[in-house]
């Protein structure tokens, strides 16, 4: 039986004002309807923003200690229903049970991490020229708009809503229409934990409500994670004077040097490329191998790829895109070594694809697939490998497999990506480390998840001058 979901506006669970709905189906079996959710329009967003303006004013007056408590209670509630939540995540998004369990255990930890941040917002004090006091003060921005993708439907929202709420903002949350149930569960937990009901709004739907969140001048800060094309539209809609944080696509490469342990390199590559069915922004989509190791590495990667267990792709458009890029790669002259085929059955399952001979400048070498398609490229030496790794508009993550520390340091310094991984998969980030890309992968103004700039996004600074009385 499908779930019936609602928007949360003004503390009430409501349908879209226009009455429209959409269905979300299980990607492993599209006949299984996960739920029916409001198909919202700009009208719903306008109502949501008005309510959150009120709720944000109330929440900003709540002490930091108490705000932290609410986030911790939400974490406890999510943890308490972790088994059910994991099953729902598998059914809605298509992760394997193990992948889903990792996400449902991480989200409460994110909320607790950000809860602690509530009490760390501080300022500076100066002596005034007249002997008085000058101090800086960081206050909430007011209404934050959070527009999120489907591939981490709990984790990514939790690392936006967590710090936004910790800082005392209200939030209009516009999740992906691929994972509305997870958004509903996160919202329910925050409400049940004691958040003022108007401080958070949930508006379901796709581009229409997303664009309305980005455009609304009452939304003081827009945090977005998704594709680079959509991110650019969000940026344009928000205009030049609004605070915008965009984390977007990637075309992440792993370079393998001749001194590498090739078995280990193959495990690192396969985990990064085919974990989450290749649907991770930091997923490995290219391998750049030096001539000495190319063939033995390819053999090992192909062997492991054939054994890998993958969930379905999240949606029919993901399936089409994946199969399209396998075809495009071959048309461009690459050789399909394994996989890249739809598997029999109702779900959106494919076999993990490995292509070799992927030419520099080809579409497969440069465009984000966001599916389980791994492109092998050859480089004659380290410098060329690094240059190839950087030869894309994206700058999210890059990996190197080597035993040579000097090469590792050199690679880390010259890689034009926001994340560099040496001897580990390009995917998987620590929650206490700043996260974000370079180049077309990010706005780069504020890092997400942790670090000194994270809270700067969710707060605005004032300088206060106080003179002594004569
Ligand atoms: P998407 O860009 O299609 O959608 C992201 C969100 O934007 C969704 O909520 C969507 O409904 C909304 N949206 C769509 N059109 C909009 C518009 N015109 N205005 C405002 N909002 C709009 O991305 P997706 O398919 O949900 O996610 C996959 C993409 O996300 C990949 O490119 C991936 O690399 C990227 N991603 C990046 C990170 C990161 O941190 N860098 C993390 C995860 C995913």
Backbone φ and ψ for 378, nearest 5 degrees, come out as -105, 145
- The reply to whether 57 falls in a domain is yes
Distance CA(415)–CA(399), nearest Å, equals 9
342 bridge partner residues: 350
pLDDT tens for each residue of 78-95: 999 999 999 999 999 999
**What is the per-residue pLDDT for 240?**
86
Query: Which atom of ligand 1 is the closest one to the Cα of 178?
Result: 26
Q: Are residues 81 and 167 in the same domain?
A: yes
**What is the per-residue pLDDT for 241?**
83
What residues act catalytically? 247, 281
- The reply to whether 450 falls in a domain is yes
SS (H, E, C) 75-95: HHHHHHCHHHHHHHHHHHHCC
Q: In the predicted model, is pLDDT for residue 333 greater than 90?
A: yes
Atom 40 of ligand 1, nearest CA residue: 247
Q: Are residues 204 and 262 in the same domain?
A: no
Q: What CATH number is given to the structural domain containing 335?
A: 3.40.309.10
pLDDT tens for each residue of 163-188: 999 999 999 999 999 999 999 999 99
Q: Are residues 39 and 174 in the same domain?
A: yes
pLDDT tens for each residue of 108-163: 999 999 999 999 999 999 999 999 999 999 999 999 999 999 999 999 999 999 99
**What is the per-residue pLDDT for 364?**
97
Residue 464 CA, ligand 1 centroid: distance in Å: 39
pLDDT tens for each residue of 314-323: 999 999 999 9
Ligand 1 pocket (Cβ < 6 Å) reads 147-151, 156, 174-177, 206-207, 210-211, 214, 225-227, 230, 233-234, 247-250, 281, 368, 370, 396, 437, 441
pLDDT tens for each residue of 5-24: 999 999 999 999 999 999 99
Q: In the predicted model, is pLDDT for residue 449 greater than 80?
A: yes
- The reply to whether 229 falls in a domain is yes
**What is the per-residue pLDDT for 323?**
98
> Average pLDDT over the chain, rounded to whole?
97
Q: In the predicted model, is pLDDT for residue 470 greater than 90?
A: no
Distance CA(433)–CA(453), nearest Å, equals 11
**Could you tell me which residues come within 8 angstroms of residue 327 by beta carbon, excluding any fewer than 6 positions away?**
none
**What is the per-residue pLDDT for 243?**
94
Atom 30 of ligand 1, nearest CA residue: 226
Question: Binning pLDDT at 50, 70 and 90, where does residue 266 land?
Answer: very high
Domain that holds residue 308: 252-422
**Strands 133-140, 459-466: pairing kind:** antiparallel
Q: Are residues 244 and 208 in the same domain?
A: yes
Question: Binning pLDDT at 50, 70 and 90, where does residue 324 land?
Answer: very high
Alpha-carbon Rg for the chain, nearest whole angstrom, is 23
Percent of the chain past pLDDT 90, that is, above it, reads 98
């Amino acid at each position: 039986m499908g779930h019936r979901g609602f928007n949360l506006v003004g503390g009430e669970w409501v349908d879209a004002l226009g009455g429209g709905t959409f269905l979300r189906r299980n990607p492993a079996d599209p006949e299984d309807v996960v739920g029916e959710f409001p198909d919202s329009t700009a009208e719903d967003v306008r109502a949501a923003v008005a309510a959150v303006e009120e709720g944000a004013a109330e929440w900003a007056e709540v002490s930091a200690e108490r705000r932290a408590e609410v986030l911790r209670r939400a974490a406890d509630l999510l943890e308490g229903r972790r088994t059910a939540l994991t099953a729902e995540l598998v059914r809605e998004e298509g992760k394997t049970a193990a992948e889903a369990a990792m996400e449902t255990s991480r989200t409460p930890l994110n909320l607790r991490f950000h809860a602690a941040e509530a009490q760390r917002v501080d300022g500076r004090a100066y002596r005034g020229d007249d002997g008085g006091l000058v101090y800086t003060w960081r206050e909430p921005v007011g209404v934050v708009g959070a527009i999120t993708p489907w591939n981490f439907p709990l984790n990514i929202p939790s690392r936006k809503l967590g710090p936004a709420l910790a800082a005392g903002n209200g939030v209009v949350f516009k999740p992906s229409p691929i994972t509305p149930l997870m958004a509903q569960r996160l919202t329910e937990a925050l409400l049940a934990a004691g958040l003022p009901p108007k401080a958070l709004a949930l508006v379901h739907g796709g581009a229409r409500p997303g664009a309305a969140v980005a455009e609304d001048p009452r939304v003081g800060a827009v945090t977005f994670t998704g594709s680079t094309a959509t991110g650019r539209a969000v940026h344009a809609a928000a205009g030049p004077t609004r605070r915008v944080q965009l984390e977007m696509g990637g075309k992440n490469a792993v370079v393998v040097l001749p001194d590498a342990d090739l078995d280990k390199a193959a495990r690192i590559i396969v985990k990064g490329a085919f974990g989450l069915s290749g649907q991770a922004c930091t997923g490995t989509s290219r391998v750049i191998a030096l001539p000495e190791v190319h063939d033995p590495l390819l053999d090992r990667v192909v062997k492991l790829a054939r054994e890998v267990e993958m969930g379905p792709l999240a949606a029919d458009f993901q399936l089409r895109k994946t199969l399209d890029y396998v075809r495009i790669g071959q048309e461009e002259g690459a050789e399909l070594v394994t996989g890249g085929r739809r598997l029999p059955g109702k779900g959106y399952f494919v076999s993990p694809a490995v292509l070799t001979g992927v030419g520099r400048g080809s579409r497969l070498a440069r465009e984000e697939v966001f599916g389980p398609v791994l492109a092998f490229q050859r480089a004659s030496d380290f410098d060329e490998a690094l240059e190839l790794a950087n030869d894309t508009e994206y700058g999210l993550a890059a990996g190197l497999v080597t035993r040579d520390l000097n090469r590792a340091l050199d690679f880390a310094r010259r890689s034009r990506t926001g994340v560099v991984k040496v001897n580990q998969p390009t995917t998987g980030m620590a929650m206490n480390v700043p996260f974000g890309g370079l180049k077309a992968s990010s706005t780069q103004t504020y890092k997400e998840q942790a670090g000194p700039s994270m809270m700067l996004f969710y707060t605005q600074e004032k300088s206060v001058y106080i003179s002594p009385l004569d």
